[in-house]
């Protein structure tokens, strides 16, 4: 099938097979290396490493057919910085020390971005729910939550 979609602001056109997942296409064919997998689709798990934003909403790319991207807009971590400037979430993750091995980081940041873009604020309950679909095996979450809180404050989210 011929697909046309927007990837991080640029138009992409390619052929995909019906059985291919969005992950297969993004990582293996378009070279988007921030999108990772722990093969959750085969193990009934949900680690969140394959998270991308589809029209701004977080989804798991390993469980999404590639053809669903047709006519839509996909955001991956590669699409967050602007003109060499990091997104406030990226800076906050660095400042708060929220990255260890980094495997979960792209997915965490994208899930957090959707939360903040949707008006989410610095309250811990909201942040925890926002990253419930993302597992981190290194940090213990404390610094990740702290990073998202800092970014929320920097962006002034959650205020009426």
Partner 1 sequence: MPFRPSKVILPATREEASESLEALGGGAVIIAGGTMLFRLRDSGLLDHVEALVDLSRLGLSYVRGDAVVAIGSYTPLSDVYRWIASDPRRGRALGALADAIMSMPGWQIRNMATVGGSASIGMPQSDIATSLLALGARARISGPSGERVVDLRDYMAAPLSPSLGSGEFLSELVIEQPIGASAHEKFVVSDIDHPIASASAHLALADDGSVASARIALGGGLRRSVVLESPRALVGRVPDEGVLEEIQGLARDSVDPLDDFVASAEYRRHLAGVMARRAVARAYARAGGSAR
| Sole binder of ligand FES in the list 3, 7, 38, 89 (CB under 6 A) | 38
3 state SS of 148: helix
State the nearest-atom distance from the C-beta of 11 to ligand FES, in Å. 26
The answer to whether 74 touches 36, Cβ cutoff 8 Å, is no
Residue 1, binding choice from ligand FES, ligand FAD, partner 1, none, Cβ under 5 to 8 Å by partner class: partner 1
Q: Is 64 in the site for ligand FES (CB under 6 A)?
A: no
Select from 113, 110, 126, 131 the least CA-distant residue to 158: 126
The answer to whether 87 touches 113, Cβ cutoff 8 Å, is yes
Q: Is 46 in the site for ligand FAD (CB under 6 A)?
A: yes
Residue 103, binding choice from ligand FES, partner 1, ligand FAD, none, Cβ under 5 to 8 Å by partner class: ligand FES
Q: Is 37 in the site for ligand FES (CB under 6 A)?
A: yes
Q: Which is nearer to partner 1, 2 or 82 (CB)?
A: 2
Q: Which residues bind ligand FES (CB under 6 A)?
A: 37-38, 40, 45-50, 60, 62, 99-104, 136-139
């Amino acid at each position: 099938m011929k697909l046309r979609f927007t990837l991080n602001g640029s138009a992409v056109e390619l052929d995909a097979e019906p059985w291919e997942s969005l992950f297969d296409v993004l990582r293996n064919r378009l070279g988007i290396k921030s999108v990772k997998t722990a093969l959750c689709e085969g193990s009934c798990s949900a680690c969140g490493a394959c998270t991308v934003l589809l029209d701004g909403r977080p989804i798991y790319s390993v469980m999404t057919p590639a053809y669903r991207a047709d006519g839509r807009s996909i955001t991956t971590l590669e699409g967050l910085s602007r003109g060499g400037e990091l997104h406030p979430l990226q800076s906050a993750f660095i400042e708060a020390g929220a990255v260890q091995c980094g495997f979960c980081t792209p997915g965490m940041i994208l899930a957090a971005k959707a939360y903040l873009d949707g008006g989410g604020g610095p309250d811990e309950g909201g942040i925890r729910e926002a990253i419930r679909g993302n597992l981190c095996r290194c940090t213990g979450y404390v610094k990740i939550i702290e990073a998202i809180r800092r970014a929320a404050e920097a962006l002034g989210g959650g205020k009426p």
